[in-house]
């Protein structure tokens, strides 16, 4: 048997999440069906982690065992041409027998995208959260910085979580500002009023904010609750200095709402012996 790892991208809009479900219509179900059809074997694959319904992936990593003799350089094209056009296998690698896409992941990065312009970006509307008023980016950065390190993230997961421990390690948080429409262009549009924005949203910024969160492991809904909390910090509803208290409370009621899934993408999974990125 060979062990094969795939780097997979998907648009999660029309799926019930990554992990296989009785009803089907998950990314894992689609991949297993297509691999099984190609190899004639019943295949069970392992993903680096789940993604919720509606969440996307730039680089999800999965692996599976097969006795197929298809050369390694053929797998990505063979699978992609058989998959629906919202799932693409970017590349395939032969990996050692012991490779396990979830256990061997050194870190994972998720990206959550927030568009703070008045109008949604039509051509990226499936991949971002539209927040039509400006946000305080510096406050969000200060709030996010408090999450770095080993913490009990009970305040940042579903109260229904059955995990024995909610202690996880965040390695890095990063907020990147993309103006997309240059500031001058934006305020040349009469739907924007610079004075109004400056008076009503002092210190806040328009444009698009990408939140990157890198960690060694994540809880159910964790990045979406982090995003929802940072948005409330950006709205000045929560002070960035409140973050340590929210963590210490270990109480889901203390953090912000769970941000909608469409803004979230699994961005990168890092392994010792597998190239990362697309």
Binding site for a second copy (CB under 8 A): 9-11, 56, 72-73, 76-77, 80, 85-88, 90-93, 118-120, 122-125, 127, 181, 185, 188-191, 193, 275, 277-278
Smallest CA-to-CA distance from 8 within 266, 219, 223, 262 is with 266
Q: By the 8 A CB rule, do 101 and 6 touch?
A: no
Distance of closest approach, residue 146 Cβ to a second copy, in angstroms = 31
Distance of closest approach, residue 223 Cβ to a second copy, in angstroms = 18
Distance of closest approach, residue 25 Cβ to a second copy, in angstroms = 18
Give the Cα separation of 196 and 87 in Å (integer): 43
Smaller CB distance to a second copy: residue 103 or 195? 195
Smaller CB distance to a second copy: residue 96 or 164? 96
Helix or strand holding residue 247 (H, E) = helix 243-249
Distance of closest approach, residue 121 Cβ to a second copy, in angstroms = 9
Give the Cα separation of 183 and 167 in Å (integer): 41
> 110: annotated binding-site residue?
yes
Count of H-run helices and E-run strands, the chain: 7, 10
**151 CB burial (10 A radius; 0-12, 13-18, 19+):** buried
Catalytic residue among 29, 52, 136, 197: 52
Write down the residue that tokens 């203390």 correspond to: 254
Instruction: Give the 3-state secondary structure of residue 35.
Output: helix
Catalytic residue flag (residue 52)? yes
Smaller CB distance to a second copy: residue 13 or 236? 13
Smaller CB distance to a second copy: residue 119 or 239? 119
Smallest CA-to-CA distance from 270 within 189, 186, 171, 178 is with 171
Q: How far is CA 12 from CA 55, 61, 64, 86, in A?
A: 5, 15, 21, 8
SS3 content of the chain, % helix, strand, coil (to 5): 30, 25, 40
Distance of closest approach, residue 189 Cβ to a second copy, in angstroms = 5
Residues in the annotated binding site: 110
Residues in the annotated binding site for substrate: 110
State the catalytic residues.
Answer: 52
């Amino acid at each position: 048997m060979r062990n094969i790892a795939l780097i997979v991208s998907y648009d999660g809009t029309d799926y019930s999440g990554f992990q296989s479900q009785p009803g089907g219509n998950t990314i894992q179900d689609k991949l297993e069906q297509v691999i099984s059809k190609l190899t004639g074997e019943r295949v069970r694959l392992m993903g680096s982690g789940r993604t919720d319904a509606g969440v996307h992936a730039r680089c999800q990593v999965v692996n599976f065992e097969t006795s197929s003799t298809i050369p390694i350089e053929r797998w990505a094209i063979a699978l992609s041409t058989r998959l629906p056009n919202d799932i693409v296998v970017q590349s395939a690698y032969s990996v050692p027998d012991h490779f396990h896409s979830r256990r061997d992941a050194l870190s994972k990065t998720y990206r959550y995208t927030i568009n703070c312009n008045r109008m949604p970006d039509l051509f990226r509307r499936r991949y971002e959260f539209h927040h039509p008023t400006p946000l305080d980016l510096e406050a969000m950065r200060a709030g996010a910085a408090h999450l770095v390190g080993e913490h009990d993230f009970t305040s940042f997961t579903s109260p229904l979580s059955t995990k024995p421990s909610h202690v996880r390690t965040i390695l890095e948080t990063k907020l990147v500002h993309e103006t997309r429409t240059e500031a001058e262009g934006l305020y040349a549009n009469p739907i924007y009023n610079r004075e109004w924005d400056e008076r009503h949203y002092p210190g806040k910024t328009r444009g698009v904010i990408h939140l990157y969160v890198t960690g060694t492991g994540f809880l159910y809904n964790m990045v979406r609750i982090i995003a929802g909390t940072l948005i409330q910090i950006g709205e000045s509803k929560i002070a960035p200095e409140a973050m340590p208290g929210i963590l210490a409370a270990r109480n889901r009621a203390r953090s912000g709402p769970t941000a909608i899934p469409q803004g979230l993408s699994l961005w990168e999974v890092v392994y010792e012996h597998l190239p990362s990125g697309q």
